[in-house]
């Protein structure tokens, strides 16, 4: 065991997250890929991949676009049973419900939240028109959870896919129950009554059209301001993995998104790899953080450069992201000191 590992294993040694974010909001971190499954067949495929790759991506059950018209209650019952099977799973599943104006909105919640013996990591709310819609959904979720004996309500994820939601994105991101905001490019383009071309639903125009650029920037900025996770829309080119990778890289590098949707199982590993930090940056981050721990988190020198808590905070988030992506992405394990920090995050 290295000196740093020995130091970090002592119970009186502070956790880096407590040191680096004292008095500062700790940014949320989620798996970098959010895969959508609308039926048993697609769920089974996703679970098989998660068994192979590990919990490096989320699975969201889709009751909105995934449910046939007139069979909404049947779909909700299926989602309930699927989530119940994950009662012992650390992460659980997410569920996209219907929007607040849909007739099935309350029915979805009544089915899913009737009993606390299910493991729902988060509820995805689509088609919010403004912050009031999101606050209303949060109230409805929390009310049912309190009435039905839940110890904690599932987190709320919100699809930003209307002009009104984009205008209200700061208020939405600031709501406490909200954990993540996703951009819904296709519905967003559809709201402009043909004024935005159909080609803006995909690359390259989705990253270049002024109205879409503004929406992406506003969503990412609001999320980072309030410590929430900005999640990018799907790539519909599910047979062209190069396009999937390109979209993921542009979303991450040009717009600051830290998560992306998947609609086909083959997209999952491509997205995870695209959002994983560079291996050399990860190795540098680990070295700096271990030196910092040995120096009781005071300033240090590394490769001729001075580092203090401002840069430690950056490198800590890099290794957390690397840990969430799984060691298989890199072919090497994180140093045990750093891995232990990532495994045992303090409660905030």
Give pLDDT, residue 138.
98
Nearest to 39 by CA among 15, 65, 18, 14: 65
CA distance 231 to 259: 4
Across the range 95-102, mean pLDDT stands at 97
Percentage of the chain exceeding pLDDT 70: 93
Is residue 10 scored above 50 in pLDDT? no
Cβ atoms of residues 59 and 35 within 8 Å: yes
The encoded tokens of residue 258 equal: 């830290």
Last residue in a domain, options 234, 254, 275: 275
Claim to verify: residue 109 and residue 231 sit in the same structural domain: yes
Q: Does residue 28 sit within a domain?
A: no
| 40 shares a domain with 69 | yes
pLDDT digits (tens, 9 = 90+) for 211-229: 999 999 999 999 999 999 9
Q: Which long-range contacts (CB under 8 A, 24 or more apart) does 11-18 make?
A: 13/293, 14/297, 15/341, 15/344, 15/345, 15/346, 16/289, 16/292, 16/293, 16/297, 16/312, 16/316, 16/341, 17/316, 17/341, 17/345, 17/346, 17/348, 18/346
pLDDT tens-digit map of 38-83: 888 889 999 999 888 888 999 999 998 777 787 899 999 999 999 9
Q: Tell me, what's the pLDDT at 149?
A: 96
Q: What is the CATH number of the domain that holds 65?
A: 3.20.20.60
Q: Looking at residue 332, what is its pLDDT?
A: 67
- What confidence tier does 328 reach under pLDDT thresholds 50, 70, 90? low
- Tell me the pLDDT of the chain averaged across its residues: 91
pLDDT tens for 270-323 read 999 999 999 999 999 999 999 999 999 999 999 999 999 999 999 999 999 999
pLDDT in tens, 255-267: 999 999 999 999 9
What pLDDT is attached to residue 8? 44
In a shared domain, residues 233 and 322 = no
Residue 348 covered by a domain: no
pLDDT for res 327: 64
- Give the lowest-confidence range in 7-11, 97-101, 106-110, 128-132: 7-11
Q: Are residues 103 and 192 in the same domain?
A: yes
pTM above 0.75, yes or no: yes
Containing domain of residue 240, as a range? 33-275
Mean per-residue pLDDT, 182-193: 96
Same domain, 286 and 269: no
Residue 78 lies in a domain: yes
- Over residues 158-184, the pLDDT tens digits come to 999 999 999 999 999 999 999 999 999
What percent of the chain is modeled with pLDDT above 90? 77
- Residue 3: per-residue pLDDT: 43
What's the angle, vertex CA 23, arms to CA 20 and CA 24, rounded to 5? 65
In a domain, 81, yes or no: yes
The domain boundary residue, chosen from 275, 294, 317:
275
Question: 7 with 147, same domain?
Answer: no
Question: What does residue 97 show for φ and ψ, rounded to 5 degrees?
Answer: -95, -175
The pLDDT, as a whole number, for residue 87 is 66
Give the pLDDT score at 166: 98
Same domain assignment for residues 92 and 193: yes
Total of domains in the chain: 2
> Is 53 within a domain?
yes
* Residue 266 forms part of a structural domain: yes
User: Do 178 and 125 have their domain in common?
Assistant: yes
- Return the minimum-mean-pLDDT range out of 22-36, 141-155, 156-170: 22-36
The pLDDT, as a whole number, for residue 12 is 60
What pLDDT is recorded for position 9?
A: 45
Between 20-24, 25-29, 84-88, 197-201, the lowest mean confidence (pLDDT) is in 84-88
Do 166 and 204 have their domain in common?
A: yes
Whether residue 73 lies inside any domain: the answer is yes
> Residue 44: inside a domain, yes or no?
yes
**Shared-domain flag, residues 116 and 170:** yes
> Among 275, 307, 323, which residue terminates a domain?
275
* Residues 307 and 245 both lie in one domain: no
The answer, yes or no, to whether residue 151 has pLDDT greater than 70, is yes
- Same domain (yes/no): 200, 284: no
* Residue 74 φ then ψ, to 5°: -60, -40
């Amino acid at each position: 065991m290295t000196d740093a590992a020995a130091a970090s294993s002592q119970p009186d040694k502070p956790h880096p997250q407590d040191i680096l974010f004292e008095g500062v909001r700790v940014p949320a971190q989620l798996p970098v890929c959010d895969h959508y499954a609308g039926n048993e067949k697609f769920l089974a495929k996703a679970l098989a991949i998660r068994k192979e790759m590990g919990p490096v991506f989320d699975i969201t059950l889709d009751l909105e676009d995934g449910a046939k018209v007139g069979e909404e209650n049947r779909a909700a019952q299926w989602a309930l049973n699927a989530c119940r099977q994950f009662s012992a799973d650390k992460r659980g599943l997410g569920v996209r419900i219907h929007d607040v104006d849909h007739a099935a909105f309350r029915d979805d919640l009544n089915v899913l939240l009737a009993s606390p013996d299910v493991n729902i990591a988060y509820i995805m709310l689509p088609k919010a028109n403004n912050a009031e819609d999101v606050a209303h959904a949060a109230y409805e979720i929390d009310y049912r959870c309190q009435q039905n004996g839940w110890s904690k309500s599932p987190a709320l994820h919100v699809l930003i896919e209307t002009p009104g939601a984009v205008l209200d994105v700061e208020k939405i991101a600031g709501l406490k129950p909200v954990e993540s905001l996703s951009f819904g490019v296709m519905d967003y383009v559809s709201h402009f009554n043909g004024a935005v071309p159909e080609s803006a639903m995909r690359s390259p125009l989705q990253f270049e059209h002024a109205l879409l650029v503004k929406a992406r920037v506003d969503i990412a900025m609001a999320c980072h301001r309030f410590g929430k996770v900005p999640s990018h829309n799907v790539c519909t080119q599910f047979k062209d993995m190069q396009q999937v990778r390109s979209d993921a890289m542009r979303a991450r590098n040009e717009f600051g998104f830290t998560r992306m949707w998947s609609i086909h199982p083959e997209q999952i590993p491509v997205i995870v790899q695209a959002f994983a930090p560079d291996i050399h940056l990860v190795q540098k981050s680990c070295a700096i953080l271990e030196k910092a721990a040995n120096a009781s988190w005071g300033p240090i020198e590394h490769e001729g450069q001075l580092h203090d808590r401002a840069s430690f905070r950056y490198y800590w988030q890099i290794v957390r992201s690397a840990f969430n992506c799984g060691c298989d992405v890199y072919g090497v394990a994180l140093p045990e000191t750093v891995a232990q920090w990532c495994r045992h995050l303090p409660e905030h």
